[in-house]
Structure formats: structure tokens, C-alpha cells
Amino acid sequence: MSIFTLQSLAGGFLDEDLEHFNKIFDDWCIQFESYEDAMDIVQTLENHETIDIVEITPLSYPKYFFSALKGTIYATRKIENQIICIVEPYMGSSFKIAICDLKTKKVRLTKTNYKTIPNVESAFASFKEQ
């Protein structure tokens, strides 16, 4: 499961009006089901040499695929049919591990709070669903 979008070499994703670049990929950004469809549009744009076609996947951009996932995401990895993320639900809060199910699109946060990056990274690296 992936989609393709257009990104400026300077950063930002092309908006659906094909004129502005959004810093964050959201519902207003143009998206395509295939690389070829994206290439067809890129070739019609001015300055097309400054625009890249990028693939957005649940692993690379989990917030887009899992709307219930809130906060700042620091790392992701895939385990079977799940995307596991290190999340800071809101600024200054303890870190959590989020479990995002690719089949159901549901998001669940673990109950454990992690105060420091080394603690959550250790748990994240050795994470296994109970």
C-alpha cells in the first residue's frame, strides 16, 4: 500500500492547485496511485527539474495512513502487519510506543510511559507484541 506525490527539491509537497508546496503531507497535497501517473503531471509543470516524485508508505509517513495517530513520531518499523512507532503524544509528554494495524487501520498506544529517548529506543528495538 503506497501512494506517490510530488516534492520540491527544497522540501514540501505540491498542493492540489499545482502551485504551492506544503511543508507537511496532508489531504490537500496532490497524490497518485502510480509513478507513471505522477510522471505524466510532472512533465507538464514549469521547473519540473526541481520536482521529485516520492513514494509515501505507512512506514515512511504513518500519520497519513493512520488518522488516529497523534503527536510527534520519531521512528517507525514494520513487524508483520503492523507499523510500530515511537510517539510523543504532545510536546513535553512521556514517549509511548504506538501499534498501527495495517489491516484494520486502528492505532493502539502501549500503557508504558518512557521518560527518556534511550529507554524508549531500547524498548522499540526489542518490541514484540504480547
In the prediction, which pLDDT does 99 show?
95
Q: How far is CA 1 from the centre of its chain?
A: 13
In the prediction, which pLDDT does 51 show?
93
Residue 40 three-state SS: helix
In the prediction, which pLDDT does 56 show?
92
Residue 36 three-state SS: helix
Alpha-carbon distance 62 to 65, whole Å? 5
Q: Quick one: cell of 104?
A: 484494520
Q: What number is the average pLDDT over the span 47-62?
A: 91
In the prediction, which pLDDT does 24 show?
83
Alpha-carbon distance 7 to 23, whole Å? 10
Instruction: List b or e across 79-94, with b for residues whose CB sees 16 or more CB atoms inside 10 angstroms.
Output: eeebbbbbbbbeeeee
What confidence tens digit (pLDDT) does each residue in 71-90 have?
A: 999 999 999 899 999 999 98
Has residue 129 got a pLDDT over 70?
no
In the prediction, which pLDDT does 118 show?
86
Alpha-carbon distance 8 to 52, whole Å? 6
Q: What number is the average pLDDT over the span 18-38?
A: 90
Residue 120 three-state SS: helix
pLDDT-derived band at 128 (thresholds 50, 70, 90) equals confident
Kindly state the percentage of the chain with pLDDT values over 70: 98
